[in-house]
């Protein structure tokens, strides 16, 4: 905004004008922070599955950031038998859980529960009749997969359930990873109880994410249990076991038929069971120079956060777009992983008029229908009103500069004591805000100076170490191994070819080439290539030395001609 030439503010006037402009943004900042605080204070509840059979237990999970609170589970007793509740603390949030066994079939309502100062949302569980089952032994193991014929790189939910009818003194439950796939454990064990063949069993449920790396038959090894149970009366009477007896059980092996990536499938390859998009915040009006928030939520079944691509940031002509970091929530529902991603954008229009914001689009492959699909949202049209940079400060009335200089002041009533106090409070807030801004800029310059002198400690911490590499070599996919190696290089390698050029050990280069040929060209055995890869990188990557010219401490006294 240009001021009239005859109005030349003094230094104090310029400072006051800057303070007024800063104060004009304070309500915007406060209003922008309120939704964030509300989101942080949200208490959420969900079931680990939406359907169950009579006699099976489901787990109710409740997450909150309130401290020193606990859910009131008493309203659940009317429709469910309640198990032993548990809790765990993670990243400043508390997770509560309790096993619920339905008392009847049909659609059962899980009522809203009071948690501290908040209430959870009501849920619904569909319960069907129990299947006729034969009595089993003292312990048995069953393994369930959510898709027996998945696609390559599709996330498959795998659930291992240990049933035991006698008290256990100790035990170990093991599920080995199959050749040609990665297996990752998800979440904590869930304990419940169920009736099988007229006998009551305690149940320990363990969840995994299985990701096939190649097409063809995939043999899933049996899950094995070995443990010790307390001896019963007859064992003690006949002198067997010395007060304890051995228990062992294993599930039957299974074979999954992994499908290859279909020809013409959308890229990047994203096989899912379901994908839904919706707007959480979709404004229709805005002001020039003021930010409005657009929020998009994606709910995907059969994928984790590491596999899901970023929700695209819209390109808006006539506005600036500032995306925030995505909020990711991973759950296990009905035996398969479910991912919820929320992405927020701040859109700042540059001029009044009509603003078009394109809706997001994510191409994916429907593994149920075996066809390509696209999840889209409609575009948003914002009516942008002119901005108001000359807003009057709180507690007073602004006059045109020309009238003030000409002496045409309008007589006003004497200001009250409260009105006289507001400008001083506003000025104090402005001074504090400017001081905070100056301190932040000073700290930023210090950090930048420290980063220029050498590699900062934060960068060192962000670079993967040998332990991270060993973890992905043992249970991660080939793409994860490549990404970790790229980040371990200094500076990071751009792609796999650049990574191969930076490695000095020929065995390590050959191991990466062998795995690439086995997975992407179908030339070789991926299992043998993985063994070679683990052996070659057991001691960490070996990089080629980078020759650097020594720096002269001082410029030459006599420059060369």
Angle, to 10 degrees, between the axis of helix 506-516 and the axis of helix 478-488? Answer: 150
Sequence-distant (6+) residues with CB within 8 A of 549 are: none
pLDDT surpassing 60 at residue 403: no
Q: State whether residue 13 is helix, strand or coil.
A: helix
In sequence order, the β-bridge partners of residue 161 are 142, 205
pLDDT surpassing 80 at residue 459: no
Cis-peptide into 491, omega within 30 deg: yes
DSSP string for residues in 304-357: -TTTSPPPPPPP-TTEEEEEPPPEEEEEEETTEEEEEEEEEEEEEESSSEEEEE
pLDDT for 414:
40
pLDDT for 443:
72
CA distance 58 to 108: 12
Closest listed residue to residue 301, CA positions, set 261, 258, 336, 343: 336
pLDDT for 14:
41
pLDDT for 555:
56
What pLDDT band is residue 138 in, cutting at 50, 70 and 90? Answer: confident
What average pLDDT score do residues 35-58 get? 66
pLDDT for 393:
40
In sequence order, the β-bridge partners of residue 18 are none
CA distance 92 to 63: 11
CA distance 435 to 453: 28
For the segment 281-323, what is each residue's pLDDT rounded down to a tens digit?
Answer: 989 899 888 889 999 999 998 888 878 888 888 888 889 898 8
Closest listed residue to residue 533, CA positions, set 489, 492, 472: 472
For the segment 221-278, what is each residue's pLDDT rounded down to a tens digit?
Answer: 999 999 988 766 445 444 555 556 788 899 988 899 999 988 888 888 899 989 999 9
pLDDT surpassing 60 at residue 453: no
Per the model's pLDDT, the better-predicted residue between 441 and 43 turns out to be 43
pLDDT surpassing 70 at residue 51: yes
What pLDDT band is residue 546 in, cutting at 50, 70 and 90? Answer: low
pLDDT for 554:
52
> Two tokens at 487?
């980040």
Give Cα 58 to chain centroid, integer Å. Answer: 24
Closest listed residue to residue 365, CA positions, set 465, 279, 216, 259: 259
Min mean pLDDT across 205-214, 385-394, 454-463, 468-477 is at 454-463
Per the model's pLDDT, the better-predicted residue between 539 and 64 turns out to be 64
Mean pLDDT, the chain, integer: 76
3-state helix, strand, coil in the chain (%, to 5): 25, 35, 40
pLDDT for 130:
60
CB neighbours of residue 425 within 10 Å: 11
CB 541 within 8 A of CB 485: yes
pLDDT for 29:
45
Closest listed residue to residue 245, CA positions, set 324, 383, 110, 139: 139
What average pLDDT score do residues 119-137 get? 75
pLDDT for 415:
40
Min mean pLDDT across 62-71, 129-138, 423-432 is at 129-138
CA distance 407 to 411: 11
pLDDT surpassing 80 at residue 482: yes
Report which DSSP code applies to 517. Answer: I
> Two tokens at 361?
């689009």
CB neighbours of residue 324 within 10 Å: 13
Q: State whether residue 429 is helix, strand or coil.
A: helix
Give this prediction's pTM.
0.49
For the beta sheet containing 380-385, the strands, ordered from the edge strand earlier in sequence to the opposite edge, are: 285-287, 380-385, 353-357
Highest-scoring range by mean pLDDT, 187-201, 306-320, 408-422, 470-484 = 306-320
Angle, to 10 degrees, between the axis of helix 526-536 and the axis of helix 506-516? Answer: 160
Sequence-distant (6+) residues with CB within 8 A of 553 are: none
Closest listed residue to residue 202, CA positions, set 156, 233, 247, 157: 247
DSSP string for residues in 206-252: EEEEEEE-SSEEEEEPPPEEEEEEE--HHHHHTT-GGGEEEEEEEPP
pLDDT for 296:
93
For the segment 350-402, what is each residue's pLDDT rounded down to a tens digit?
Answer: 889 999 999 999 999 998 888 999 999 999 999 999 877 654 443 333 334 43
What average pLDDT score do residues 104-126 get? 88
pLDDT for 13:
45
Min mean pLDDT across 151-165, 190-204, 336-350 is at 190-204
pLDDT for 537:
87
> Two tokens at 553?
């401490």
């Amino acid at each position: 905004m240009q001021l009239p030439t005859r109005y030349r503010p003094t230094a104090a006037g310029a400072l006051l004008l800057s303070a007024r402009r800063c104060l004009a943004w304070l309500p915007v900042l406060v209003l922008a922070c309120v939704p964030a605080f509300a989101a942080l204070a949200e208490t959420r509840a969900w079931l680990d599955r939406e359907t169950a059979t009579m006699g099976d237990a489901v787990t109710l999970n409740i997450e909150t950031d309130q401290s020193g609170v606990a859910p009131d589970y008493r309203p659940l007793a009317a429709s469910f038998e309640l198990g032993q509740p548990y809790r765990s603390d993670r990243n400043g949030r508390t997770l509560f859980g309790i096993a619920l066994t339905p008392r009847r079939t049909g659609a059962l309502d899980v009522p809203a529960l009071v948690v501290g100062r908040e209430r959870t949302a009501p849920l619904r569980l569909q319960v069907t009749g129990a299947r006729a089952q034969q009595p089993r032994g003292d312990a048995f193991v069953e393994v369930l997969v959510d898709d027996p014929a998945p696609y390559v790189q599709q996330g498959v939910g795998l659930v291992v359930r240990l049933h035991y009818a006698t008290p256990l003194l100790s035990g170990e439950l093991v599920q080995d990873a199959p050749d040609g796939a990665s297996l990752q454990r998800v979440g904590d064990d869930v304990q419940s109880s169920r009736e099988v063949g007229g006998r009551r069993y305690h149940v320990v449920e363990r969840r995994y994410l299985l990701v096939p790396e190649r097409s063809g038959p995939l043999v899933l090894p049996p899950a094995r249990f070995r443990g010790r149970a307390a001896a019963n009366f007859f064992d003690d009477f006949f002198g067997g076991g010395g007060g304890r007896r051995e228990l062992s059980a294993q599930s039957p092996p299974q074979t999954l038929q992994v499908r290859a990536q279909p020809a013409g499938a959308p890229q990047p390859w994203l096989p899912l069971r379901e994908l839904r998009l919706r707007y959480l915040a979709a404004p229709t009006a805005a002001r020039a120079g003021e930010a409005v928030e657009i929020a998009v939520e994606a709910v995907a079944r059969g994928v984790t956060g590491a596999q899901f691509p970023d929700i695209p940031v819209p390109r808006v002509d006539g506005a600036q777009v500032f995306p925030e970091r995505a909020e990711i929530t991973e759950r296990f529902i009905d035996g398969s992983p479910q991912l919820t991603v929320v992405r927020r954008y701040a859109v700042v229009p540059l001029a009044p008029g009509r603003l078009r914001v394109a809706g997001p689009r994510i191409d994916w492959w429907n593994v149920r229908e075996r066809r390509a699909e696209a999840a889209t949202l409609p575009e948003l049209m914002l009516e942008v009103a002119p901005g108001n940079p000359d807003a009057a400060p709180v507690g007073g009335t602004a006059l045109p500069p020309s009238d003030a200089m000409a002496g045409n002041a309008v007589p006003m009533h004497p200001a009250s004591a409260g009105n006289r106090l507001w400008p001083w409070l506003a000025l104090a807030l402005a001074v504090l805000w400017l001081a905070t801004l100056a301190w932040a800029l000073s700290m930023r310059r210090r950090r930048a100076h420290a980063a220029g002198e050498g590699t900062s400690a934060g960068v060192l911490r962000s670079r993967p170490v040998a332990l991270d590499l060993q973890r992905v070599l043992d249970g991660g996919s080939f793409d994860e191994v490549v990404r970790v190696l790229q980040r371990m290089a200094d500076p990071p390698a751009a792609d796999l070819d650049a990574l191969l050029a930076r490695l000095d050990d020929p065995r390590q280069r050959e191991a990466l080439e062998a795995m690439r040929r086995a997975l992407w060209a179908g030339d070789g055995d991926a299992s043998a290539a993985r063994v070679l890869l683990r052996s070659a990188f057991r001691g960490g990557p070996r990089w080629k030395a980078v020759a650097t010219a020594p720096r002269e401490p001082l410029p030459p006294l006599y420059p060369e001609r």
